[in-house]
């Protein structure tokens, strides 16, 4: 697939930008702070309904404006779809598909699929487990958009159940019992939605792991091999082989039963602490280098290679699913040494479309010498 | 910020559901420009609604009298009770013209985040009613969202022990995460006629 046209209004620094695009590589070049990343961030937003730089929508709206609009014409197997998103912080965002409003923005997920690699990705390796869970869930939604709903339902149940534990917990500590008549109900719903999310993540990791290992070996052949594995709060109650390449597909029913049993086990502890201790919200995607966790241990170069391998692995996985994703490389070539640069360029050159940003054109390998745009003084113009 | 009462009015309007700061401002200035008689009429209606409207002592729906029109209507089947969250959901179900039974309005849904547990809802009244009246089926028509689903599950558990009582839930097909009142008549009607036993 590819983005044939990008248009933004009041998005980040852009009052308006209009950018016709095409298959193959497109490189946005210009000095820092000119708005290059802002443009590819808009493309990523259409694919994920989120930004790779900020957790909330407010910074995406141009200072002084009340809402931003992003429009993309996406071509997938010769069919073109127009996706429009209106981003209004503090209110419900709105989406239109081929000019017709859809009930919820998440109904347009899956139309554009992107894999975006950016300097922020170092946090995938060095940051909290939450960064890696987000990475997994985002990839999950790209593969199967219905998981956006599963994830939202799970988050909501989790919030409600946590609120109940918190109130009941503090009532108990104050010696007044605490009303937990509805806790069984919330347990049941948490286990039901949690099992769906967990099963999907386990299958995802089983499918993704070989791609990541191969991608890492490609970018850093001299380094020790890497592994990615899923660690669940279910611990030993997780059925054998789940989440492992070649292992059995995860059964939602089995996981639901296991989650329920585990919730029952930890109930006292949960009430004492007033927090929800079991479920995919506390799981971890472990990144293993050699036989040690990469987080807090891998060198700067190894961390970069690992982050790159996670993105390249995602790209290969999505490609294998059909509907090849658009690859977005935001300001990353300057950070990579010669060999990793080459390796990235080799893979990128096979993408149906790749969007690249760079401060200077010399940083971009020759393989990606396609269309070039200059971004400067609030203008973007094609120069080649 | 405007001075004095105008800003107060904007603030009050802005606290109403579905009204943002811009709409609040628009309504405030509309009222300022309106005829005094129009404003007085609005003022009177607001007063009457607070003083005059009460809730049906049987089903909890809004009512002008002790019992609402539906509870008084002998043609409505008293053996089937449709449980909804809010009075507006009664209207939504009525619009489908699919339902000839009676209602029970809970006054919300289980919502620990807002401190709403079983005691804050009219659940005790529901159980008492089923024990006292000849109810054969309870349709759980809470909203198809997290809180509504949890409430339905909780009620289903509470109602398990009534012998001979059938408990049903609206068929899926309602937009998940939604509000009953926003479902169109056709979809809601279908969900009602295709309800499944729990
Ligand atoms: N919400 C916003 N409103 C106005 N300007 C913004 C907003 N968000 C970011 N900017 C501006 O955008 C510029 C950064 O753009 P960016 O795309 O990151 O640059 P680069 O070309 O280096 O990738 C900065 O000058 C920043 O002030
Ligand atoms: Mg940049
Ligand atoms: Zn009544």
Per-residue pLDDT, averaged over B18-27, amounts to: 86
For the segment A14-43, what is each residue's pLDDT rounded down to a tens digit?
999 999 999 999 999 999 999 999 999 999
Q: Is the pLDDT reported for residue B177 higher than 70?
A: no
- Residue ranges and CATH numbers for the domains of chain A are 1-113+323-384 (3.40.50.300)
ipTM (interface predicted TM): 0.87
Q: Look at residue B61 and tell me if it is in a domain.
A: no
Judge contact between A12 and A70, C-beta under 8 A. no
In chain B, what percentage of residues exceed pLDDT 70? 97
Q: Is the pLDDT of residue B173 over 80?
A: no
* Per-residue pLDDT at A170: 86
Q: Is B154 on the interface with A (CB under 8 A)?
A: yes
Asked if residue B58 belongs to a domain, the reply is no
Cα(B70) to centroid of ligand 3, in Å?
6
pLDDT in tens, chain A (384 residues): 999 999 999 999 999 999 999 999 999 999 999 999 999 999 999 999 999 999 999 999 999 999 999 999 999 988 999 999 999 998 999 999 999 999 899 999 999 999 999 999 999 999 999 999 999 999 999 999 999 999 999 999 999 999 999 999 888 888 777 789 999 999 999 999 999 999 999 999 999 999 999 999 999 999 999 999 999 999 999 999 999 999 999 999 999 999 999 999 999 999 989 899 999 999 999 999 999 999 989 999 999 999 999 999 999 999 998 879 999 999 999 888 888 899 899 999 999 999 999 999 999 999 998 999 999 999 999 998
Residue B130: domain span: 76-197
B29 by Cβ neighbours in 10 Å (0-12 / 13-18 / 19+) ranks as middle
Cβ proximity of A163 and A169 under 8 Å: no
From chain B, the residues in CB contact with A160 under 8 A are: 110-113, 146-147, 150
Question: Biggest alpha carbon distance in chain A?
Answer: 74
Given a cut of 90, is residue B170 above it in pLDDT? no
Q: How far is A43 from chain B (nearest CA, A)?
A: 27
Q: How far is the CA of A116 from the centre of ligand 1 (A)?
A: 18
Kindly state the helix (H) or strand (E) to which residue B102 belongs, with its residue range: strand B102-105
State yes or no: pLDDT of B6 exceeds 90: no
- B87 and B176 in a single domain? The answer is yes
pLDDT in tens, A193-231: 999 999 999 999 999 999 999 999 999 999 999 999 999
Evaluate the CA torsion angle A151, A154, A156, A159 in order and state its sign.
negative
DSSP A369: -
Regarding whether B82 and B35 lie in a shared domain, the answer is: no
Hey, of A147, A168, A186, A260, which one would you mutate to test binding to chain B, going by the most B CBs within 10 A of its CB?
A186
> And the tokens for A338?
């010669």
The distance from CA B70 to its chain's CA centroid, rounded to whole angstroms, is 14
Q: Is there a single domain that holds both residue B47 and residue B82? A: no
pLDDT of amino acid B118? 95
pLDDT at A172: 83
Q: Is B118 part of the contact surface with chain A (CB cutoff 8 Å)?
A: yes
Structure tokens at A185: 């109900």
Q: Alpha-carbon distance A360 to A28, whole Å?
A: 9
8 Å CB contact of A185 and B154:
yes
Q: What is the pLDDT of residue B178?
A: 66
Q: Is residue B62 part of a domain?
A: no
**A153 vs B197: CA distance, rounded Å:** 23
Inter-residue contact A75 to A87 (CB < 8 Å):
no
* CATH number where B28 lies: 1.10.8.420
The CA-CA-CA angle for residues A16, A19, A24, to 5°, reads 155
Count of Cβ atoms closer than 10 Å to residue B114 Cβ = 12
Task: Give domain status of residue B138, yes or no.
Answer: yes
Does B140 touch chain A if contact means CB atoms closer than 8 Å?
no
B111 and B188 inside one domain = yes
Count of structural domains, chain B: 2
- What residue of B is the nearest CA neighbor of A153? B146
Q: Is B108 on the interface with A (CB under 8 A)?
A: no
Kindly give the interhelix angle for B185-193 and B87-96, rounded to the nearest 10 degrees: 90
CA A205 – CA A229 distance, rounded (Å): 7
For residue B60, being part of any structural domain is answered with no
Q: Which ligand is nearest to the CA of B71?
A: 3
What is the distance between the alpha carbons of residues A380 and A374, in angstroms, rounded to a whole number?
6
**CA distances for B70 relative to B59, B90, B100, B102, angstroms:** 9, 10, 10, 7
Cβ atoms within 10 Å, residue A143: 20
Residues B171 and B91 in one domain: yes
């Amino acid at each position: 697939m590819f983005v044939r046209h990008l248009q933004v209004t009041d998005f980040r620094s852009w009052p308006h930008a209009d950018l016709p695009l095409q298959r193959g590589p497109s490189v946005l070049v210009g000095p820092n702070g000119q708005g290059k990343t802002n443009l590819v961030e808009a493309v990523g937003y259409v694919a994920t309904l989120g930004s790779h730089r900020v957790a909330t929508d407010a910074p995406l709206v141009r200072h002084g404006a009340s809402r931003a609009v992003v429009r993309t014409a996406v071509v997938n197997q010769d069919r073109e779809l127009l996706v429009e998103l209106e981003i209004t912080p503090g209110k419900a965002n709105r989406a239109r598909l081929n000019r017709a409003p859809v009930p919820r923005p998440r109904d347009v997920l899956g139309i554009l699929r992107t894999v975006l690699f950016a300097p922020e990705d170092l946090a995938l390796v060095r940051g909290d487990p939450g960064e890696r869970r987000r990475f997994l869930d985002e990839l999950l939604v790209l593969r199967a958009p219905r998981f956006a709903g599963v994830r939202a339902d799970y988050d909501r149940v989790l919030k409600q159940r946590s609120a109940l534990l918190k109130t009941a917990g503090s009532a108990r500590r104050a010696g007044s019992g605490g009303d937990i008549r509805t806790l069984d109900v919330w347990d049941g719903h948490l286990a039901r939605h949690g099992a769906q999310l967990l099963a999907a993540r386990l299958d995802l990791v089983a499918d993704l792991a070989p791609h990541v290992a191969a991608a890492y070996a490609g970018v850093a052949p001299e380094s020790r091999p890497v592994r990615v594995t899923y660690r669940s709060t279910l611990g030993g109650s997780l059925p054998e082989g789940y989440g492992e390449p070649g292992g059995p597909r995860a059964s939602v029913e089995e996981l639901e039963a296991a989650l329920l049993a585990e919730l029952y086990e930890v109930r006292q502890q949960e009430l004492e602490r007033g927090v929800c201790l079991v479920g995919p919200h506390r799981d971890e995607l472990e990144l293993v280098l050699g036989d040690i966790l990469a987080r807090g241990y891998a060198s700067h170069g190894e961390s970069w290679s690992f982050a790159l391998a996670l993105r390249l692995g995602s790209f290969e996985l999505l490609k294998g699913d059909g509907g090849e994703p658009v690859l977005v490389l935001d300001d990353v070539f300057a950070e990579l040494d010669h060999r990793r640069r080459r390796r990235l360029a080799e893979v990128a050159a096979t993408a149906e479309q790749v969007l690249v940003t760079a401060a200077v054109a010399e940083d971009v390998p020759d393989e990606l010498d396609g269309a070039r745009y200059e971004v400067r003084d609030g203008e973007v113009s094609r120069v080649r | 910020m405007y001075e004095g009462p105008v800003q107060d009015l904007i603030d009050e309007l802005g606290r109403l559901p579905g009204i943002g700061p811009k709409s609040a401002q628009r309504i405030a200035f509309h009222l300022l420009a309106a005829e005094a008689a129009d404003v007085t009429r609005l003022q009177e209606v607001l007063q009457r609604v607070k003083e005059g409207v009460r809730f049906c002592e049987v089903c909890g729906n809004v009512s002008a009298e002790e019992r609402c029109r539906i509870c008084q209507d002998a043609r409505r089947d008293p053996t089937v009770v449709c449980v909804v969250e809010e009075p507006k959901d009664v209207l939504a179900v009525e619009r489908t013209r699919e339902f000839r039974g009676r209602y029970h309005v809970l006054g919300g849904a289980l919502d620990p985040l807002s401190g709403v547990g079983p005691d804050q809802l009219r659940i005790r009244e529901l159980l008492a009613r089923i024990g006292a009246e000849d109810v054969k089926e309870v349709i759980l028509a809470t909203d198809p969202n997290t809180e509504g689903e949890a409430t339905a599950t909780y009620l289903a558990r509470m109602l398990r022990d009534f012998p001979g009582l059938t408990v049903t839930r609206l068929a899926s097909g309602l937009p998940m995460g939604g509000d009953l009142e926003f479902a169109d008549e056709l979809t809601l009607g279908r969900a009602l006629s295709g309800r499944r036993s729990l």
